[in-house]
């Protein structure tokens, strides 16, 4: 029994190096105290191995060197309809539609290119659903934008239905100083 407890405690110490434990305290413990210690260790191990929820510091608007991006709406659907007919999201997935606006804050005309968006769901890279360009009821988030003007458009992703945090970063150009990054959760848009 003491070897089992020592192994559990060692696991905690390895996983959390700042935790110091004096194994000699096991020698004088009663069966009830050992049981209580095992319960504590198991609880600690569960905490260490259970994925923690991602930080949800929402940021619905951000400014880069050329554009200010704002998420105006987001919604999830199970199927999309386009020239191939109805297409369902894969098992456990949904299609996330993200409506954005980009204001050109520079003194020159510029171009928003949907290929320049880097996106992450729960810190895992995701690609834009490329067939979204065939959807008839959305405006693609790609076009010329004159200085001081606004472009509105939509990006579509196929993502896990239980997503917690979406992060969209726009990499405007090589050498830019600030990449606008938008972060939001399902709660920001009442998505269940």
pLDDT, position 2: 53
pLDDT, position 119: 95
Instruction: Give dist(CA 78, CA 88) in Å, integer.
Output: 6
Alpha helices in the chain (DSSP H): 2-15, 31-49
pLDDT, position 49: 36
Retrieve residue 48's tokens. Answer: 């260490």
pLDDT, position 16: 39
pLDDT, position 107: 94
- pLDDT tens for each residue of the chain, 192 residues long: 555 555 445 444 444 344 445 556 567 777 777 677 676 656 554 433 333 333 345 789 999 889 999 999 999 999 888 777 788 899 999 999 999 999 999 999 999 988 889 999 999 999 888 777 677 678 888 899 999 999 999 999 999 999 999 999 998 766 667 889 999 999 998 886
pTM of the model: 0.67
pLDDT, position 179: 85
pLDDT, position 32: 78
Instruction: Give dist(CA 129, CA 79) in Å, integer.
Output: 12
Q: Please write down the long-range contacts of 163-167, taking CB distance under 8 Å and 24 or more positions apart.
A: 163/96, 163/121, 163/122, 164/53, 164/54, 164/56, 164/122, 165/54, 165/55, 165/56, 165/121, 165/122, 165/123, 166/74, 166/96, 166/98, 166/119, 166/120, 166/121, 167/119, 167/120, 167/121, 167/123
């Amino acid at each position: 029994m003491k070897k089992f407890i020592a192994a559990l405690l060692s696991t905690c110490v390895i996983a959390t190096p700042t935790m110091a434990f004096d194994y000699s305290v096991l020698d004088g413990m009663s069966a009830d105290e050992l049981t209580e210690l095992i319960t504590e260790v198991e609880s600690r191990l569960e905490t260490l191995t259970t994925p923690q929820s991602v930080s949800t510091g929402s940021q619905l608007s951000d400014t880069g060197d050329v554009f200010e991006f704002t998420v105006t709406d987001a919604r999830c659907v199970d199927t999309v309809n386009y020239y191939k007919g109805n297409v369902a999201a894969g098992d456990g997935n949904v299609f996330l539609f993200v409506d954005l606006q980009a204001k050109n804050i520079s003194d020159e005309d510029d171009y928003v290119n949907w290929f320049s968006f880097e996106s992450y769901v729960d810190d895992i890279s995701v690609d834009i659903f490329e067939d979204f360009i065939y959807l008839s009821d959305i405006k693609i988030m790609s076009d010329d934008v004159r200085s001081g003007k606004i472009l509105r458009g939509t990006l579509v992703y196929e993502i896990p239905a239980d997503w917690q945090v979406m992060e969209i970063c726009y990499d405007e150009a090589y050498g830019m100083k600030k990449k606008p990054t938008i972060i939001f959760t399902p709660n920001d848009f009442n998505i269940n």
